[in-house]
Structure 1
Amino acid sequence: MPEEREPDERGPDEAPGRRAGRGAGPGLADRILGGWTGRIAGNMLGKPVERGEHWTPERIDRYLRLTEALPLTDYLPPPPVEATGFELRPEWPQCVRGRIHGSCRDDDIDYSILGLHLLETRGFQFTTEQVGELWLLRLPYLQTFTAERAAYRNLANGLAPPLTATYDNPYQEWIGALIRADIFGWTSPGDPRRAAALARRDAALSHTGNGVYGAMWAAALIAAAFTAAGPREAVEGALERIPASSRLARTVRHTVALHEAGVAWEDALAELAAQTGSLGWIHTVPNAAVITAGLLYGDGDFTRTITLTVRGGLDTDSNGATAGSVAGVMCGASAIPPQWSDPLEDRVRSAVFGFDGVRISELSSRTLRLASG
């Protein structure tokens, strides 16, 4: 990753929350709660089919037709008894429609919680080393995966950043850092530059190259969603925060161009998959394309955004979570349809020590204090 000077950050008298707001739209508190709710709902929607090599977009839609769930407007239905070839993840009984009672545990939500705790305890001047210290203190090793597990192992063996990201770690450009980025966007409303700088410092513990750019892009995207007129404006604002020549930026721009040209969503996904599919289903770049397509073709509608994103396949729970976070910030929690929010029962399961069973409303209130402070 080329050397870049990290953007200056404002002091406490220049709180980012004061820049948020779009006239008569939702207030900051409602948008932040919308981000948390949207992330958790999108994650739960995608979790049963999180296995990209098996659950292709075509297989997901076959399952939805089999269960008479197209158009998709709610959580995935449970599998019919006689269905074969549609093996859902083992957690499916806790995250299909009619069976959800609070969110089930998932690393996509664990990292948002851990990031909140990081900012509360270390402040916005946190270091990459402090991110690693917090992982060792609060996050069980067996609840980490791919690049995060490699970095955790390196930390335990006494390595320090940036070696934690580069030593014996073949997953440096996978999606793990991107899924950790939301908290930096929620606490930098209307300030994508600041959000990207925070996300970069976190991502450097475990990722390099497009892995780091993905985190910067996602954080900036969420920060931009607080003030953007729509998804296209938020996507373009986020693109300004990553190198224009990176493969991530080129792929996101191509997704925007396909949408602008009127290419159908299914055809756009097929073209993007042909160009990026060789990278694998957990790589940052193809997943960012699916997220971008979901946002653009969802056109600001919360349900359409998260359902299109999950139907796009690949890392479905992570993609649904990020798209849900952006859409939730844009519309606010009060505009998220109840079939998504009510089953969550304002409760989160988490592997982060001290946070299991925490209320979504509490996480949102604590985030608001940081964003407004």
Structure 2
Amino acid sequence: MKASAYHYLQYEGHFAIERQQGIDEGRALSEAIEAHYGRLAAMTPGDPEREALAAEYLDEMRNMPMRPDYPFAEPSDLAGIRAERPPAAKLAAPLPAGPALEDKLYGAWLGRSAGCLLGQPIEGWRRERIAGLLGETDNYPIRRYLSSAIDRGIADKYGVKDEGGSYGNPCVSWINNVRHMVEDDDMNYTIIALAVLEKYGESFTPDDVAEAWLTWLPALRTCTAERIAYRNLMNGIDPPRSAGYRNAYREWIGAQIRADFYGYINPGDAELAAEMAWRDASISHEKNGIYGAMWVAAMLAAAAVTNDMEEVILAGLGQIPAASRLSAEIRTVLHWRREEVVHEEAIDRIHRKYDEGDPHHWCHTISNAMIVAVSLLYGGGDLERTIGMAAAAGFDTDCNAATSGSVVGMQLGAEALPEAWVQPLNDLILSGVDGFGLTPISQLAKRTCELAARGGA
């Protein structure tokens, strides 16, 4: 996820998203609040009065009552979430241990890195533009990383440029410009979760995660909900209030991309993986923003012990409220697969429901989780197919390919991953998390294995 340096610190940039978010979560909007919105929309950007009125609008929206006909039950507290879960089947497969576990964890780190690297250069592109570039470079379905070393006419047509890298990367991360896994927020959060577990142990709290962010993660390495939560934490607003206070992005994808590590260290234990993900997510997200993180963590825990992708997805759904929007949409994807809806039609259906040109849809947990589910189900346990489907689908390309690659990498293990997707990483990852820098991915996997072997502590 990309963001300009200060955009997410100005409340006047949030009020339109807040209105969409309020409608999504079932708020009954009064005539007065709608008039307030209209006044804000008509004001000149940058007007100091507009900033003050936007802050008031965010506060007022939090107090809007719920519609009496709202069909979903979506608590944010852990006890409430657990009370709303469906009956969940136990994962019965034997747990990996020793070298087998380390291979799976290394595979998860590599798969996550490969997916992220594939999707990063086209993050923010729309599906049509992605499809055009892939088609004209003979790379659809995706069979290799994306490169800027292509015909100049094609490059100009699709706006393929080398300058303008994100997160301090000197160039856009086309494969011809990289020598290792580059920095990305998707990977920074996986690494900071490792640091949290190493310092605070299995019983870490949301406050510990917040302290870790403030200690090890520069503020401008954060985006959307995380940046608002960071601001709140700096202003003395503690979790869980830090997640909801003037945070229009509380159901966006940020917590979902932070959750993988909690599945890594809890192989076979979807419930504990999801609980740890809740502790992390609850400092910046609410409702479906939290559920996305719990779903992903539980899936990773399941992927360590089963290659049945539907079982993996259902293990994730078993840890979130059955009557939530996220659960309903992922079950819709499962239904499509069972009804033999073809892959391209499944992606078309997501695009018909969610508009990738709308920032709220483009970066929301639910739309992107649906793409992850489609990619996992239709990818057939093949890393190349899975991350290729996730990146080509549009929406948040690097986030979705990273999550999908992580699950498949965990299932297959490092030894079974295709050399074409692993070798360009050169077993190195650059991180913006203080104390890491350029680190061997295999070393991160070894440290992860040590935590998993002793129960995360």
TM-score, normalised with respect to structure 1:
0.92
Unaligned runs of 5+ in 1: 8-15
Deviation at 1:94, TM superposition (A): 5.4
Q: How many residues align?
A: 358
Alignment-derived partner of residue 344 in structure 1? 425
Tell me how large the CA RMSD over aligned residues is: 1.9
Q: 1:365 to 1:69 in 2, by over 3 A?
A: same
Paired with 1:95 and 1:335, the residues of 2 have a C-alpha distance of 25
Alignment-derived partner of residue 159 in structure 2? 87
Paired with 1:166 and 1:128, the residues of 2 have a C-alpha distance of 14
Does the residue aligned with 1:358 lie in a helix, a strand or coil?
strand
Alignment-derived partner of residue 13 in structure 1? none
Alignment-derived partner of residue 20 in structure 1? 95
Paired with 1:322 and 1:88, the residues of 2 have a C-alpha distance of 25
Paired with 2:176 and 2:353, the residues of 1 have a C-alpha distance of 38
Matched, 1:252 2:317: no
Note the alpha carbon deviations across 1:211-244, whole angstroms, 9 max, x for none: 0000000100111101123211101111111111
Does the residue aligned with 2:386 lie in a helix, a strand or coil?
helix
Matched, 1:108 2:186: yes
Q: 1:72-83 counterparts in 2 under 5 A?
A: 72-78=142-148, 79-83=150-154
Decide whether the 8 Å contact of 1:31 with 1:226 is kept in 2: yes
Deviation at 1:162, TM superposition (A): 1.4
Matched, 1:371 2:452: yes
Q: 2:118 aligns with which of 45, 68, 88?
A: 45
Unaligned runs of 5+ in 2: 1-73, 83-90
Deviation at 1:159, TM superposition (A): 0.9
Alignment-derived partner of residue 175 in structure 1? 253
Note the alpha carbon deviations across 1:108-138, whole angstroms, 9 max, x for none: 0000000000000001111101111110000
Matched, 1:360 2:441: yes
Q: 2:287 aligns with which of 209, 214, 218?
A: 209
Alignment-derived partner of residue 331 in structure 1? 412
Matched, 1:281 2:358: no
Alignment-derived partner of residue 233 in structure 1? 311
Q: 1:19 to 1:203 in 2, by over 3 A?
A: farther
Does the residue aligned with 1:173 lie in a helix, a strand or coil?
coil
Note the alpha carbon deviations across 1:53-73, whole angstroms, 9 max, x for none: xx2223211101111222311
Alignment-derived partner of residue 322 in structure 1? 403
- Code of the aligned partner of 1:80: D
Paired with 2:272 and 2:354, the residues of 1 have a C-alpha distance of 29
Q: 1:206 to 1:28 in 2, by over 3 A?
A: same
Q: 1:193 to 1:357 in 2, by over 3 A?
A: same
Note the alpha carbon deviations across 1:69-92, whole angstroms, 9 max, x for none: 223111112253223342357339
Decide which structure has the larger Cα Rg and report it. Answer: 2
Q: 1:29 aligns with which of 97, 102, 105?
A: 102
Note the alpha carbon deviations across 1:249-281, whole angstroms, 9 max, x for none: 111010111111111111111112222336510
TM-score, normalised with respect to structure 2:
0.75
Note the alpha carbon deviations across 1:1-57, whole angstroms, 9 max, x for none: 4244388xxxxxxxx9x95239xxx81111000000000110000001100xxx222
Decide whether the 8 Å contact of 1:94 with 1:104 is kept in 2: no
Alignment-derived partner of residue 18 in structure 2? none
Matched, 1:64 2:126: no
- Compare relative contact order (CA 8 Å, sep 6+) and give the higher one, 1 or 2: 1
In the TM superposition, structure 1's runs of 4+ consecutive aligned residues that sit over 4 Å from their partners are none
Does the residue aligned with 1:117 lie in a helix, a strand or coil?
helix
Paired with 1:166 and 1:303, the residues of 2 have a C-alpha distance of 38
Matched, 1:161 2:246: no
Alignment-derived partner of residue 188 in structure 1? 266
Does the residue aligned with 2:429 lie in a helix, a strand or coil?
coil
Decide whether the 8 Å contact of 1:94 with 1:101 is kept in 2: no
Does the residue aligned with 1:171 lie in a helix, a strand or coil?
coil
Matched, 1:302 2:353: no
Does the residue aligned with 1:348 lie in a helix, a strand or coil?
strand
Paired with 2:397 and 2:151, the residues of 1 have a C-alpha distance of 21
Paired with 1:320 and 1:71, the residues of 2 have a C-alpha distance of 14
Decide whether the 8 Å contact of 1:74 with 1:97 is kept in 2: no
- Code of the aligned partner of 1:57: R
Paired with 1:56 and 1:36, the residues of 2 have a C-alpha distance of 27
Paired with 2:136 and 2:184, the residues of 1 have a C-alpha distance of 27
Decide whether the 8 Å contact of 2:375 with 2:386 is kept in 1: yes
Decide whether the 8 Å contact of 1:69 with 1:77 is kept in 2: no
Does the residue aligned with 1:205 lie in a helix, a strand or coil?
coil
Alignment-derived partner of residue 268 in structure 1? 346
Alignment-derived partner of residue 206 in structure 2? 128
